[in-house]
Amino acid sequence: MFPLCLSNVSVARRGKSVLGPVDLVIDQGGPTMVIGPNGSGKTTLLRVMHGIERISEGTAAWAKPDHANHAYVFQSPVVLRRTVAENLSYPLYLIKYAKPEINTAVEYWIERIGLGKVANRSATRLSGGERQKLAIARALIRDPKVLFLDEPCSNLDGQSTREIETLLLETAAAGTRIIMATHDMAQARRLAADVVFMKSGRIAETGLAPDVFDAPKTSELKAFFKGDILE
């Protein structure tokens, strides 16, 4: 299905441009970290790549489109008003997996994210970290080839953040292509193989993680790393 080619993509909301124009090619590899200040268009870019954002100009196309092989974890996790186990089974139930297969997968993932004890409790009563882990497991249960995550660790404590990062690194090692937005530079350094730096709705710089972190080319990225407020 790779590569994904964005060419000259723009997104406008209510007549105002919120993204673009951007050009980007996503091929195998990763994890890719999308970094940049708030409002720079990270979320919009991920949504465009996932195909759930209306593009006003340009094209975003996978070499072989296969939406069923994507998964997306939203910034504030969407939790179904069901039990933890039913949240996990939902994506498989949608594509009509057989009951025994669903149960096996649910049991595996529920143990993997450490929610075995609350399997039959309503997911709406989970803590923020547990919700996010549930959302990630629910995204991974269909074994996607591409996983998008939008700031999955914002507002989470260190323990949950570490668990999620471990899970993501294992997932990447198992061959899932991870593309993730984060505002946490330390996290970006820990996870990134390559980096997309966004500013004011544009891609200001891209590159391999060591290059980008150790020798940023653009003045914007230098200022961003220094901690300057970017407008």
Partner 1 sequence: MNDISQGLLAALRLIVTFDAELWEISLRSLQVSLTAVIIASAVAMPFGAFLAVQRFKYRRLIISIMNALMGLPPVVVGLIFYILLSRSGPFGVFGLLFTPWAMIIVQIVIITPIIASISHQAMRELWAEYHDLLISLNTSKWQRIKTLIWDGRRNLLTAGLAGFGRAIGEVGAIMIVGGNIEHATRVLTTAIALETGKGDFALALGLGFVLIGLALFVNISIHWLSRTERERRW
Residues that bind ligand ADP (CB under 6 A): 13-14, 18, 36, 38-44
Per partner kind, with CB cut-offs from 5 to 8 A, the member of ligand ADP, Mg ion, partner 1, none near residue 185 is: none
CB of 207 to ligand ADP, least distance (A): 19
Choice between 31 and 91, CB closer to Mg ion: 31
CB of 18 to Mg ion, least distance (A): 11
- What are phi and psi for residue 51, nearest 5 degrees? 85, 25
Per partner kind, with CB cut-offs from 5 to 8 A, the member of ligand ADP, partner 1, Mg ion, none near residue 109 is: none
* Angle of helix 128-140 versus helix 158-173 axis, rounded to 10: 10
Enumerate residues 6+ apart whose C-beta is below 8 A from 104: none
Write out the residues near partner 1 by the rule CB under 8 A: 50, 52, 67-68, 70-72, 74, 78, 80-82, 90-91, 94, 122, 124-125
DSSP annotation string for 140-176:
HTT--SEEEEESTTTT--HHHHHHHHHHHHHHHHTT-
Pairwise CA distance, residues 114 & 163, whole Å: 10
CB of 177 to partner 1, least distance (A): 16
Per partner kind, with CB cut-offs from 5 to 8 A, the member of Mg ion, partner 1, ligand ADP, none near residue 62 is: none
Per partner kind, with CB cut-offs from 5 to 8 A, the member of ligand ADP, Mg ion, partner 1, none near residue 67 is: partner 1
CB atoms within 10 A of CB 94: 10
Pairwise CA distance, residues 178 & 165, whole Å: 12
SS3 at position 19: strand
Choice between 67 and 99, CB closer to partner 1: 67
Per partner kind, with CB cut-offs from 5 to 8 A, the member of Mg ion, ligand ADP, partner 1, none near residue 122 is: partner 1
